[in-house]
Structure 1
Amino acid sequence: MTSIPLFLPTLTGETVTLRAWRHSDTAIVMEASQDPLIPQLTSVPTTPDERAALAFIERQHARLRDGAGYAFAIADHDDKAVGHIGLFFTPGASGRASAGYWVASSRRRQGFAHDALTTLTSWAVRLEELDRVELYVEPWNEGSWRVAEQAGYEREGLLRNWKRVGGQPRDMYMYSRLARRPN
Protein backbone atom coordinates (compact mmCIF):
# COMPACT_ATOMS: atom_id res chain seq x y z
CA MET A 1 0.00 0.00 0.00
CA THR A 2 1.15 3.47 -0.74
CA SER A 3 0.41 6.69 1.06
CA ILE A 4 0.56 8.54 -2.26
CA PRO A 5 -2.89 9.64 -3.44
CA LEU A 6 -3.77 7.66 -6.54
CA PHE A 7 -5.85 8.56 -9.55
CA LEU A 8 -6.59 6.26 -12.44
CA PRO A 9 -5.43 7.65 -15.77
CA THR A 10 -6.72 6.42 -19.10
CA LEU A 11 -3.80 4.91 -21.02
CA THR A 12 -3.83 4.42 -24.77
CA GLY A 13 -1.87 1.73 -26.56
CA GLU A 14 -1.75 0.76 -30.21
CA THR A 15 -4.86 -1.43 -30.09
CA VAL A 16 -6.16 -1.07 -26.52
CA THR A 17 -7.26 1.52 -24.04
CA LEU A 18 -6.66 0.91 -20.35
CA ARG A 19 -9.51 2.54 -18.49
CA ALA A 20 -11.57 2.29 -15.32
CA TRP A 21 -13.89 -0.66 -14.95
CA ARG A 22 -17.57 0.16 -15.63
CA HIS A 23 -20.73 -1.55 -14.47
CA SER A 24 -21.44 -2.22 -18.15
CA ASP A 25 -18.34 -4.50 -18.25
CA THR A 26 -20.00 -7.36 -16.37
CA ALA A 27 -20.23 -9.65 -19.44
CA ILE A 28 -16.45 -10.01 -19.73
CA VAL A 29 -16.11 -10.70 -15.99
CA MET A 30 -18.82 -13.36 -16.23
CA GLU A 31 -17.01 -14.93 -19.20
CA ALA A 32 -13.72 -14.91 -17.28
CA SER A 33 -15.44 -16.58 -14.32
CA GLN A 34 -15.97 -19.66 -16.50
CA ASP A 35 -12.25 -19.94 -17.34
CA PRO A 36 -10.63 -22.86 -15.52
CA LEU A 37 -7.69 -20.74 -14.24
CA ILE A 38 -8.58 -17.03 -14.08
CA PRO A 39 -10.72 -17.34 -10.91
CA GLN A 40 -8.02 -19.44 -9.22
CA LEU A 41 -5.32 -16.83 -9.83
CA THR A 42 -7.35 -13.62 -9.45
CA SER A 43 -10.33 -12.18 -7.60
CA VAL A 44 -12.66 -12.95 -10.53
CA PRO A 45 -15.71 -14.78 -9.16
CA THR A 46 -16.06 -18.50 -9.74
CA THR A 47 -19.62 -18.26 -11.06
CA PRO A 48 -21.00 -16.28 -14.02
CA ASP A 49 -23.31 -14.20 -11.85
CA GLU A 50 -23.98 -10.52 -12.59
CA ARG A 51 -23.99 -9.52 -8.92
CA ALA A 52 -20.64 -11.26 -8.39
CA ALA A 53 -19.27 -9.53 -11.51
CA LEU A 54 -20.40 -6.15 -10.17
CA ALA A 55 -18.70 -6.95 -6.84
CA PHE A 56 -15.48 -7.73 -8.77
CA ILE A 57 -15.72 -4.35 -10.52
CA GLU A 58 -16.25 -2.60 -7.18
CA ARG A 59 -13.16 -4.37 -5.76
CA GLN A 60 -11.13 -2.93 -8.63
CA HIS A 61 -12.28 0.60 -7.74
CA ALA A 62 -11.50 -0.10 -4.07
CA ARG A 63 -7.88 -0.97 -4.90
CA LEU A 64 -7.33 2.60 -6.00
CA ARG A 65 -9.22 4.12 -3.06
CA ASP A 66 -7.27 1.93 -0.62
CA GLY A 67 -3.90 2.79 -2.19
CA ALA A 68 -3.27 -0.85 -3.15
CA GLY A 69 -2.71 -0.10 -6.82
CA TYR A 70 -4.24 0.56 -10.19
CA ALA A 71 -6.81 -1.77 -11.79
CA PHE A 72 -7.72 -1.22 -15.43
CA ALA A 73 -10.16 -2.79 -17.83
CA ILE A 74 -8.45 -3.61 -21.12
CA ALA A 75 -10.76 -2.21 -23.81
CA ASP A 76 -10.60 -2.83 -27.55
CA HIS A 77 -10.97 -0.19 -30.29
CA ASP A 78 -14.78 -0.27 -29.76
CA ASP A 79 -14.25 0.47 -26.03
CA LYS A 80 -15.51 -3.01 -25.14
CA ALA A 81 -13.73 -4.64 -22.20
CA VAL A 82 -11.73 -7.74 -23.20
CA GLY A 83 -9.73 -8.28 -20.00
CA HIS A 84 -8.02 -6.85 -16.97
CA ILE A 85 -4.59 -5.49 -16.13
CA GLY A 86 -3.32 -4.03 -12.91
CA LEU A 87 -0.30 -2.59 -11.19
CA PHE A 88 -0.30 -3.46 -7.50
CA PHE A 89 2.01 -2.24 -4.79
CA THR A 90 3.87 -4.89 -2.84
CA PRO A 91 3.10 -4.37 0.88
CA GLY A 92 6.24 -3.39 2.77
CA ALA A 93 8.33 -3.29 -0.41
CA SER A 94 9.17 0.29 -1.18
CA GLY A 95 9.80 0.92 -4.87
CA ARG A 96 8.24 -2.34 -6.11
CA ALA A 97 4.93 -3.22 -7.69
CA SER A 98 3.62 -6.26 -9.48
CA ALA A 99 1.65 -6.41 -12.70
CA GLY A 100 -1.03 -8.95 -13.45
CA TYR A 101 -3.33 -9.43 -16.40
CA TRP A 102 -5.89 -11.67 -18.00
CA VAL A 103 -7.78 -11.65 -21.27
CA ALA A 104 -11.06 -13.53 -21.71
CA SER A 105 -10.66 -16.69 -23.75
CA SER A 106 -12.85 -15.40 -26.60
CA ARG A 107 -10.49 -12.45 -27.08
CA ARG A 108 -7.10 -14.15 -26.76
CA ARG A 109 -4.44 -14.35 -29.48
CA GLN A 110 -5.33 -10.91 -30.82
CA GLY A 111 -2.45 -9.00 -29.24
CA PHE A 112 -4.49 -7.40 -26.44
CA ALA A 113 -2.36 -8.75 -23.58
CA HIS A 114 0.90 -7.68 -25.22
CA ASP A 115 -0.34 -4.17 -26.02
CA ALA A 116 -1.91 -3.78 -22.56
CA LEU A 117 1.25 -4.90 -20.74
CA THR A 118 3.48 -2.73 -22.93
CA THR A 119 1.21 0.28 -22.37
CA LEU A 120 0.93 -0.25 -18.61
CA THR A 121 4.66 -0.84 -18.20
CA SER A 122 5.80 2.20 -20.16
CA TRP A 123 3.58 4.32 -17.89
CA ALA A 124 4.55 2.50 -14.68
CA VAL A 125 8.32 2.75 -15.09
CA ARG A 126 7.96 6.53 -15.26
CA LEU A 127 6.27 6.69 -11.84
CA GLU A 128 8.77 8.28 -9.49
CA GLU A 129 7.92 5.96 -6.58
CA LEU A 130 8.68 2.78 -8.56
CA ASP A 131 12.06 1.20 -9.22
CA ARG A 132 10.80 -2.09 -10.64
CA VAL A 133 7.70 -3.86 -11.85
CA GLU A 134 7.49 -7.61 -11.26
CA LEU A 135 5.44 -10.34 -12.89
CA TYR A 136 4.86 -13.92 -11.76
CA VAL A 137 3.93 -16.57 -14.33
CA GLU A 138 3.53 -20.32 -14.04
CA PRO A 139 6.17 -22.10 -16.16
CA TRP A 140 3.57 -23.99 -18.22
CA ASN A 141 1.84 -20.70 -19.21
CA GLU A 142 3.98 -20.06 -22.27
CA GLY A 143 1.55 -17.54 -23.75
CA SER A 144 1.78 -15.33 -20.68
CA TRP A 145 5.55 -15.49 -20.27
CA ARG A 146 6.01 -14.77 -23.98
CA VAL A 147 3.83 -11.68 -23.56
CA ALA A 148 6.05 -10.59 -20.65
CA GLU A 149 9.24 -11.12 -22.65
CA GLN A 150 7.84 -9.28 -25.68
CA ALA A 151 6.98 -6.37 -23.39
CA GLY A 152 10.62 -6.11 -22.27
CA TYR A 153 10.47 -8.06 -19.02
CA GLU A 154 13.46 -10.21 -18.09
CA ARG A 155 13.11 -13.60 -16.45
CA GLU A 156 15.01 -13.53 -13.17
CA GLY A 157 14.42 -17.07 -12.05
CA LEU A 158 12.10 -19.79 -10.85
CA LEU A 159 10.41 -19.34 -7.48
CA ARG A 160 9.63 -22.80 -6.19
CA ASN A 161 6.23 -23.31 -4.51
CA TRP A 162 5.74 -19.53 -4.72
CA LYS A 163 1.95 -19.37 -4.81
CA ARG A 164 -0.95 -21.64 -3.97
CA VAL A 165 -3.27 -22.16 -6.91
CA GLY A 166 -6.33 -24.28 -6.34
CA GLY A 167 -4.91 -25.17 -2.93
CA GLN A 168 -1.67 -26.55 -4.38
CA PRO A 169 1.77 -24.89 -4.20
CA ARG A 170 2.92 -23.82 -7.65
CA ASP A 171 6.23 -22.73 -9.07
CA MET A 172 6.35 -19.31 -10.73
CA TYR A 173 8.78 -17.64 -13.04
CA MET A 174 9.68 -14.20 -11.79
CA TYR A 175 10.03 -11.47 -14.37
CA SER A 176 10.94 -7.84 -13.87
CA ARG A 177 11.19 -4.60 -15.73
CA LEU A 178 13.33 -1.91 -14.15
CA ALA A 179 12.65 1.79 -14.22
CA ARG A 180 15.35 3.52 -16.20
CA ARG A 181 16.27 6.76 -14.51
CA PRO A 182 18.84 9.27 -15.68
CA ASN A 183 21.81 9.46 -13.28
Structure 2
Amino acid sequence: MPGFDEQLTLKSQRLVLRPFGPRDAAQVRAIIAGGAEFLPPGAPGHPSMIDQWLAHGVHELRRSGQGIHLAMVADGVIVGAISLFKTLWGAGSTEIGYGVHPAHRGRGYATEAVRALTSWALREGRLRRVELRANLDNAASIRVAEKAGFTREGLLRGGGYANDGPHDLVVFGLLAGDPPMPYTGFHTGLRLESERLLLRPFAAADAADVYAAIDGDPEIGRWMPWAAGYTLERSRQWCTRYAHLEVATGVQFALQPRRGGRLVGSVGVHRADWERGDAEIGYWISPWARRRGYATEATRAVSEHLFERGFHRVHMVIAEGNLASQAVARKAGFTREGVMRRALPVPGGMTDAVLFSLLRGE
Protein backbone atom coordinates (compact mmCIF):
# COMPACT_ATOMS: atom_id res chain seq x y z
CA MET A 1 0.00 0.00 0.00
CA PRO A 2 1.37 3.49 -0.80
CA GLY A 3 2.17 5.69 2.17
CA PHE A 4 3.76 8.91 3.35
CA ASP A 5 7.51 9.54 3.62
CA GLU A 6 8.47 9.87 7.28
CA GLN A 7 10.82 12.71 6.32
CA LEU A 8 8.31 14.61 4.19
CA THR A 9 9.27 18.29 4.28
CA LEU A 10 7.77 21.07 2.18
CA LYS A 11 8.85 24.70 1.86
CA SER A 12 6.69 27.64 0.81
CA GLN A 13 7.35 31.36 0.76
CA ARG A 14 7.40 31.74 4.55
CA LEU A 15 6.79 28.27 5.95
CA VAL A 16 8.43 24.91 6.41
CA LEU A 17 6.01 22.00 6.77
CA ARG A 18 7.79 19.10 8.47
CA PRO A 19 7.13 16.18 10.80
CA PHE A 20 6.94 16.79 14.53
CA GLY A 21 9.84 15.36 16.53
CA PRO A 22 11.68 15.36 19.88
CA ARG A 23 13.29 18.73 19.08
CA ASP A 24 9.83 20.30 19.40
CA ALA A 25 9.36 19.32 23.04
CA ALA A 26 10.01 22.78 24.51
CA GLN A 27 7.72 24.54 22.06
CA VAL A 28 4.94 21.98 22.42
CA ARG A 29 5.22 22.23 26.19
CA ALA A 30 4.79 26.02 25.99
CA ILE A 31 1.84 25.66 23.57
CA ILE A 32 0.03 23.26 25.89
CA ALA A 33 0.79 25.36 28.96
CA GLY A 34 -0.62 28.41 27.20
CA GLY A 35 -3.88 26.67 26.39
CA ALA A 36 -3.67 27.13 22.62
CA GLU A 37 -5.68 24.44 20.83
CA PHE A 38 -4.40 23.86 17.31
CA LEU A 39 -2.18 20.77 17.56
CA PRO A 40 -3.25 17.59 15.73
CA PRO A 41 -5.91 15.30 17.25
CA GLY A 42 -4.48 13.17 20.04
CA ALA A 43 -2.04 15.82 21.24
CA PRO A 44 -1.35 15.42 24.97
CA GLY A 45 -3.18 17.53 27.49
CA HIS A 46 -0.48 17.10 30.13
CA PRO A 47 3.25 17.93 29.85
CA SER A 48 4.26 14.48 31.10
CA MET A 49 2.99 12.89 27.88
CA ILE A 50 4.72 15.24 25.42
CA ASP A 51 7.87 13.18 24.87
CA GLN A 52 5.87 10.02 24.22
CA TRP A 53 3.56 11.83 21.79
CA LEU A 54 6.43 13.37 19.82
CA ALA A 55 8.28 10.06 19.60
CA HIS A 56 5.31 7.85 18.75
CA GLY A 57 1.76 9.20 19.01
CA VAL A 58 1.94 11.97 16.42
CA HIS A 59 3.34 9.47 13.90
CA GLU A 60 0.65 6.79 14.23
CA LEU A 61 -1.43 8.31 11.44
CA ARG A 62 1.53 8.12 9.06
CA ARG A 63 2.34 4.56 10.08
CA SER A 64 -1.24 3.55 9.29
CA GLY A 65 -0.81 4.90 5.76
CA GLN A 66 -3.95 7.00 6.13
CA GLY A 67 -2.35 10.41 6.53
CA ILE A 68 0.35 12.54 8.11
CA HIS A 69 0.64 15.35 10.68
CA LEU A 70 3.10 18.17 9.94
CA ALA A 71 4.28 21.13 11.97
CA MET A 72 3.80 24.52 10.36
CA VAL A 73 7.04 26.40 11.09
CA ALA A 74 7.93 30.05 10.41
CA ASP A 75 11.42 31.29 11.31
CA GLY A 76 11.91 28.31 13.62
CA VAL A 77 8.62 28.85 15.49
CA ILE A 78 5.72 26.37 15.36
CA VAL A 79 2.84 28.60 14.22
CA GLY A 80 0.39 25.82 13.40
CA ALA A 81 -0.17 22.25 12.30
CA ILE A 82 -1.57 20.75 9.12
CA SER A 83 -2.63 17.20 8.30
CA LEU A 84 -3.77 14.87 5.57
CA PHE A 85 -6.14 12.15 6.79
CA LYS A 86 -8.80 9.70 5.58
CA THR A 87 -6.48 8.97 2.67
CA LEU A 88 -7.83 6.35 0.28
CA TRP A 89 -4.98 5.43 -2.02
CA GLY A 90 -7.12 3.26 -4.27
CA ALA A 91 -9.63 6.05 -4.81
CA GLY A 92 -6.90 8.70 -4.92
CA SER A 93 -8.54 10.95 -2.35
CA THR A 94 -7.62 12.55 0.96
CA GLU A 95 -8.88 15.21 3.36
CA ILE A 96 -6.88 18.16 4.65
CA GLY A 97 -7.19 19.93 7.99
CA TYR A 98 -5.15 22.52 9.86
CA GLY A 99 -4.88 24.69 12.93
CA VAL A 100 -3.00 27.95 13.55
CA HIS A 101 -1.76 29.28 16.87
CA PRO A 102 -4.02 32.19 17.96
CA ALA A 103 -0.99 34.48 18.20
CA HIS A 104 -0.18 33.91 14.53
CA ARG A 105 -3.61 34.09 12.92
CA GLY A 106 -4.54 36.68 10.33
CA ARG A 107 -1.20 36.42 8.51
CA GLY A 108 -2.17 34.06 5.71
CA TYR A 109 -0.24 31.07 7.11
CA ALA A 110 -3.21 28.71 6.80
CA THR A 111 -3.77 29.49 3.12
CA GLU A 112 -0.07 29.21 2.36
CA ALA A 113 0.21 25.85 4.12
CA VAL A 114 -2.97 24.44 2.56
CA ARG A 115 -1.75 25.43 -0.90
CA ALA A 116 1.66 23.82 -0.35
CA LEU A 117 0.41 20.51 1.04
CA THR A 118 -2.44 20.26 -1.48
CA SER A 119 -0.01 20.86 -4.33
CA TRP A 120 2.22 18.06 -3.04
CA ALA A 121 -0.73 15.68 -2.64
CA LEU A 122 -1.97 16.23 -6.19
CA ARG A 123 1.48 16.06 -7.78
CA GLU A 124 4.17 14.12 -5.96
CA GLY A 125 1.55 12.29 -3.88
CA ARG A 126 -0.24 11.21 -7.07
CA LEU A 127 -3.67 11.70 -5.52
CA ARG A 128 -6.53 13.03 -7.63
CA ARG A 129 -8.72 14.76 -5.03
CA VAL A 130 -8.19 16.76 -1.83
CA GLU A 131 -11.22 17.59 0.29
CA LEU A 132 -11.55 20.33 2.91
CA ARG A 133 -14.49 20.61 5.30
CA ALA A 134 -15.31 23.74 7.31
CA ASN A 135 -18.06 24.62 9.77
CA LEU A 136 -20.69 26.74 8.06
CA ASP A 137 -20.29 29.40 10.76
CA ASN A 138 -16.48 29.45 10.46
CA ALA A 139 -16.03 32.29 7.98
CA ALA A 140 -12.26 32.31 8.37
CA SER A 141 -11.84 28.65 7.38
CA ILE A 142 -14.23 29.05 4.47
CA ARG A 143 -12.15 31.99 3.26
CA VAL A 144 -8.97 29.90 3.53
CA ALA A 145 -10.50 27.21 1.33
CA GLU A 146 -11.57 29.78 -1.25
CA LYS A 147 -8.20 31.53 -1.30
CA ALA A 148 -6.41 28.19 -1.64
CA GLY A 149 -8.37 27.52 -4.84
CA PHE A 150 -10.89 24.93 -3.58
CA THR A 151 -14.36 24.71 -5.12
CA ARG A 152 -17.39 24.83 -2.83
CA GLU A 153 -19.29 21.62 -3.51
CA GLY A 154 -22.13 21.38 -1.02
CA LEU A 155 -23.41 21.35 2.56
CA LEU A 156 -23.51 18.44 5.00
CA ARG A 157 -26.34 19.21 7.43
CA GLY A 158 -25.25 18.34 10.95
CA GLY A 159 -22.13 16.73 9.49
CA GLY A 160 -19.81 18.02 12.19
CA TYR A 161 -19.90 17.81 15.96
CA ALA A 162 -18.13 19.92 18.58
CA ASN A 163 -18.45 20.62 22.30
CA ASP A 164 -21.38 22.93 21.61
CA GLY A 165 -23.24 20.35 19.53
CA PRO A 166 -23.71 19.55 15.83
CA HIS A 167 -22.57 21.86 13.06
CA ASP A 168 -23.37 22.05 9.36
CA LEU A 169 -20.26 21.49 7.25
CA VAL A 170 -19.34 23.13 3.96
CA VAL A 171 -17.52 20.69 1.67
CA PHE A 172 -14.76 21.98 -0.62
CA GLY A 173 -12.82 19.96 -3.16
CA LEU A 174 -9.75 20.46 -5.34
CA LEU A 175 -8.99 18.02 -8.15
CA ALA A 176 -5.79 17.34 -10.03
CA GLY A 177 -6.09 19.31 -13.24
CA ASP A 178 -8.32 22.05 -11.83
CA PRO A 179 -7.21 25.43 -13.21
CA PRO A 180 -5.26 27.44 -10.63
CA MET A 181 -7.21 30.22 -8.98
CA PRO A 182 -5.50 33.52 -8.19
CA TYR A 183 -4.84 34.18 -4.53
CA THR A 184 -6.81 37.33 -3.80
CA GLY A 185 -4.67 38.85 -1.11
CA PHE A 186 -1.14 39.70 -0.06
CA HIS A 187 0.99 37.94 2.52
CA THR A 188 1.74 40.15 5.53
CA GLY A 189 5.33 38.91 5.45
CA LEU A 190 5.78 39.48 1.70
CA ARG A 191 9.31 40.48 0.67
CA LEU A 192 10.63 41.51 -2.73
CA GLU A 193 14.12 42.33 -3.97
CA SER A 194 15.47 44.56 -6.69
CA GLU A 195 19.03 45.31 -7.75
CA ARG A 196 19.76 47.62 -4.79
CA LEU A 197 16.72 47.34 -2.53
CA LEU A 198 14.99 44.97 -0.17
CA LEU A 199 11.25 45.60 -0.08
CA ARG A 200 10.06 44.24 3.27
CA PRO A 201 7.36 44.72 5.91
CA PHE A 202 7.73 47.66 8.27
CA ALA A 203 9.02 46.92 11.77
CA ALA A 204 9.14 48.80 15.06
CA ALA A 205 12.83 49.58 14.46
CA ASP A 206 11.84 51.69 11.42
CA ALA A 207 9.85 54.22 13.44
CA ALA A 208 12.72 56.65 14.02
CA ASP A 209 13.71 56.72 10.34
CA VAL A 210 10.10 57.14 9.18
CA TYR A 211 9.61 60.03 11.59
CA ALA A 212 12.90 61.66 10.56
CA ALA A 213 11.94 61.38 6.88
CA ILE A 214 8.50 62.95 7.25
CA ASP A 215 8.82 65.46 10.08
CA GLY A 216 9.15 68.91 8.57
CA ASP A 217 10.15 67.71 5.10
CA PRO A 218 8.75 70.31 2.63
CA GLU A 219 8.44 67.87 -0.29
CA ILE A 220 6.42 65.22 1.55
CA GLY A 221 4.47 67.92 3.38
CA ARG A 222 3.52 69.53 0.07
CA TRP A 223 1.79 66.45 -1.35
CA MET A 224 0.81 64.17 1.56
CA PRO A 225 -2.10 65.40 3.74
CA TRP A 226 -1.36 62.78 6.41
CA ALA A 227 2.11 64.28 6.99
CA ALA A 228 0.77 67.36 8.80
CA GLY A 229 1.66 67.33 12.49
CA TYR A 230 3.42 63.99 12.17
CA THR A 231 4.74 62.63 15.47
CA LEU A 232 7.05 59.84 16.56
CA GLU A 233 4.08 58.05 18.15
CA ARG A 234 2.18 58.10 14.86
CA SER A 235 5.27 56.69 13.22
CA ARG A 236 5.40 53.84 15.74
CA GLN A 237 1.72 53.05 15.16
CA TRP A 238 2.28 53.02 11.40
CA CYS A 239 5.29 50.71 11.55
CA THR A 240 3.81 48.23 14.00
CA ARG A 241 0.11 48.28 13.10
CA TYR A 242 -1.35 50.31 10.26
CA ALA A 243 1.24 49.31 7.65
CA HIS A 244 0.18 45.69 8.17
CA LEU A 245 -3.60 46.00 7.91
CA GLU A 246 -4.38 46.00 4.18
CA VAL A 247 -3.63 42.45 3.08
CA ALA A 248 -6.68 41.93 0.87
CA THR A 249 -6.51 45.08 -1.29
CA GLY A 250 -3.03 46.41 -0.61
CA VAL A 251 0.38 45.97 0.92
CA GLN A 252 3.07 48.34 2.24
CA PHE A 253 6.81 47.91 1.88
CA ALA A 254 9.70 49.57 3.68
CA LEU A 255 12.60 50.23 1.31
CA GLN A 256 15.92 49.12 2.74
CA PRO A 257 19.27 49.21 0.89
CA ARG A 258 20.53 45.67 0.35
CA ARG A 259 24.02 46.75 1.43
CA GLY A 260 22.73 48.25 4.67
CA GLY A 261 21.98 51.77 5.78
CA ARG A 262 18.98 53.90 6.66
CA LEU A 263 15.45 53.42 5.41
CA VAL A 264 15.16 55.03 1.97
CA GLY A 265 11.39 55.27 1.80
CA SER A 266 8.20 53.31 1.22
CA VAL A 267 6.22 51.91 -1.69
CA GLY A 268 2.73 50.48 -1.49
CA VAL A 269 -0.04 48.84 -3.45
CA HIS A 270 -3.47 50.42 -2.97
CA ARG A 271 -6.99 49.46 -4.02
CA ALA A 272 -5.94 46.24 -5.72
CA ASP A 273 -8.94 44.99 -7.70
CA TRP A 274 -8.32 41.25 -8.10
CA GLU A 275 -11.38 40.73 -10.29
CA ARG A 276 -10.45 43.47 -12.78
CA GLY A 277 -6.71 42.84 -12.50
CA ASP A 278 -5.87 46.49 -11.78
CA ALA A 279 -3.93 48.03 -8.89
CA GLU A 280 -2.53 51.40 -7.88
CA ILE A 281 1.03 52.07 -6.73
CA GLY A 282 2.21 54.94 -4.53
CA TYR A 283 5.49 55.80 -2.82
CA TRP A 284 7.53 58.33 -0.88
CA ILE A 285 11.32 58.65 -0.62
CA SER A 286 13.33 59.81 2.41
CA PRO A 287 15.07 63.17 1.93
CA TRP A 288 18.52 61.60 2.34
CA ALA A 289 17.88 59.06 -0.43
CA ARG A 290 16.44 61.17 -3.25
CA ARG A 291 17.74 61.50 -6.81
CA ARG A 292 19.30 58.03 -6.74
CA GLY A 293 16.64 56.20 -8.74
CA TYR A 294 15.21 54.32 -5.76
CA ALA A 295 11.60 55.30 -6.52
CA THR A 296 11.85 54.07 -10.11
CA GLU A 297 13.51 50.83 -9.03
CA ALA A 298 10.92 50.12 -6.32
CA THR A 299 8.01 50.94 -8.63
CA ARG A 300 9.32 48.52 -11.25
CA ALA A 301 9.84 45.76 -8.67
CA VAL A 302 6.29 46.06 -7.33
CA SER A 303 4.81 46.27 -10.85
CA GLU A 304 6.64 43.10 -11.90
CA HIS A 305 5.35 41.28 -8.81
CA LEU A 306 1.77 42.34 -9.56
CA PHE A 307 2.04 41.10 -13.15
CA GLU A 308 3.41 37.79 -11.88
CA ARG A 309 0.36 37.55 -9.60
CA GLY A 310 -1.99 37.86 -12.57
CA PHE A 311 -2.69 41.60 -12.73
CA HIS A 312 -2.77 43.05 -16.24
CA ARG A 313 -2.71 46.77 -15.37
CA VAL A 314 -0.92 48.93 -12.80
CA HIS A 315 -1.52 52.65 -12.46
CA MET A 316 -0.28 55.70 -10.59
CA VAL A 317 -2.30 58.81 -9.72
CA ILE A 318 0.06 61.80 -9.34
CA ALA A 319 -0.70 65.42 -8.49
CA GLU A 320 -0.49 67.61 -11.60
CA GLY A 321 2.13 69.81 -9.98
CA ASN A 322 4.32 66.94 -8.78
CA LEU A 323 6.72 66.89 -11.73
CA ALA A 324 9.32 64.76 -9.92
CA SER A 325 6.88 61.89 -9.38
CA GLN A 326 5.64 62.18 -12.95
CA ALA A 327 9.25 61.77 -14.09
CA VAL A 328 9.52 58.61 -11.94
CA ALA A 329 6.42 57.15 -13.62
CA ARG A 330 7.86 57.78 -17.08
CA LYS A 331 11.26 56.28 -16.16
CA ALA A 332 9.47 53.19 -14.84
CA GLY A 333 7.82 52.74 -18.22
CA PHE A 334 4.36 54.12 -17.40
CA THR A 335 2.27 55.92 -20.04
CA ARG A 336 0.44 59.15 -19.33
CA GLU A 337 -3.28 58.60 -19.97
CA GLY A 338 -4.82 61.93 -19.04
CA VAL A 339 -5.83 64.32 -16.27
CA MET A 340 -8.35 63.42 -13.59
CA ARG A 341 -10.05 66.62 -12.41
CA ARG A 342 -9.86 67.32 -8.67
CA ALA A 343 -9.11 63.65 -8.02
CA LEU A 344 -6.37 63.82 -5.40
CA PRO A 345 -6.38 65.21 -1.85
CA VAL A 346 -3.42 67.42 -0.99
CA PRO A 347 -2.82 69.73 1.96
CA GLY A 348 -5.37 72.51 1.62
CA GLY A 349 -7.87 70.72 -0.61
CA MET A 350 -8.14 68.75 -3.84
CA THR A 351 -6.01 68.94 -6.97
CA ASP A 352 -6.10 67.65 -10.52
CA ALA A 353 -4.13 64.44 -10.96
CA VAL A 354 -2.30 62.86 -13.86
CA LEU A 355 -3.10 59.20 -14.50
CA PHE A 356 -0.24 56.94 -15.59
CA SER A 357 -0.53 53.24 -16.41
CA LEU A 358 1.63 50.26 -17.21
CA LEU A 359 0.21 47.16 -18.90
CA ARG A 360 1.57 43.64 -18.62
CA GLY A 361 3.96 43.01 -21.47
CA GLU A 362 4.93 46.66 -21.95
Q: Same fold (TM over 0.5)?
A: yes
For 2:172, give the aligned amino acid.
Answer: Y
User: How far does residue 30 in structure 1 lie from its aligned partner after superposition?
Assistant: 5.5
Which protein is bigger by CA-based radius of gyration?
A: 2
Counterpart for residue 17 of structure 1: 16
1:121 aligns with 2:114: no
Counterpart for residue 47 of structure 2: 50
Whether the aligned pair in 1 keeps the contact of 2:38 and 2:100 (CA below 8 Å) is: no
1:61 aligns with 2:49: no
Residues 143 and 4 of structure 1: CA distance in aligned 2, closer, same or farther (over 3 Å): same
For 1:31, give the aligned amino acid.
Answer: I
For 1:156, give the aligned amino acid.
Answer: E
Counterpart for residue 176 of structure 1: 173
Whether the aligned pair in 1 keeps the contact of 2:38 and 2:81 (CA below 8 Å) is: no
Whether the aligned pair in 1 keeps the contact of 2:3 and 2:66 (CA below 8 Å) is: no
| Structure 2 CA distance for aligned equivalents of residues 29 and 71 of structure 1 | 18
User: How far does residue 25 in structure 1 lie from its aligned partner after superposition?
Assistant: 2.6
User: How far does residue 179 in structure 1 lie from its aligned partner after superposition?
Assistant: 1.1
For 1:130, give the aligned amino acid.
Answer: L
Matched length: 174
| Structure 2 CA distance for aligned equivalents of residues 158 and 103 of structure 1 | 24
Moved more, 53-62 or 63-72: 53-62
| Structure 2 CA distance for aligned equivalents of residues 155 and 62 of structure 1 | 31
1:107 aligns with 2:104: yes
Structure with more contact order per residue of length (Cα contacts < 8 Å, sep ≥ 6): 1
Whether the aligned pair in 1 keeps the contact of 2:135 and 2:160 (CA below 8 Å) is: no
Tell me the SS of whatever aligns to 1:109: coil
Tell me the SS of whatever aligns to 2:2: coil
User: How far does residue 52 in structure 1 lie from its aligned partner after superposition?
Assistant: 3.8
For 2:16, give the aligned amino acid.
Answer: T
User: How far does residue 53 in structure 1 lie from its aligned partner after superposition?
Assistant: 3.9
User: How far does residue 44 in structure 1 lie from its aligned partner after superposition?
Assistant: 3.6
Moved more, 84-93 or 26-35: 26-35
Tell me the SS of whatever aligns to 2:170: strand
1:34 aligns with 2:32: no
Moved over 6 A (4+): none
Structure 1 residue corresponding to 2:162, chosen from 149, 160, 165: 165
For 2:111, give the aligned amino acid.
Answer: H
Counterpart for residue 78 of structure 2: 81
- Which ranges in structure 2 are unaligned for 5 or more consecutive residues? 179-362
| Structure 2 CA distance for aligned equivalents of residues 91 and 163 of structure 1 | 21
RMSD: 2.6
Q: Deviations over 1:28-59 (max 9, x none)?
A: 47536824x758x94344x3x22344454332
Q: With the length of structure 2 as denominator, give the TM-score of the two structures.
A: 0.44
For 1:134, give the aligned amino acid.
Answer: E
Moved more, 56-65 or 16-25: 56-65
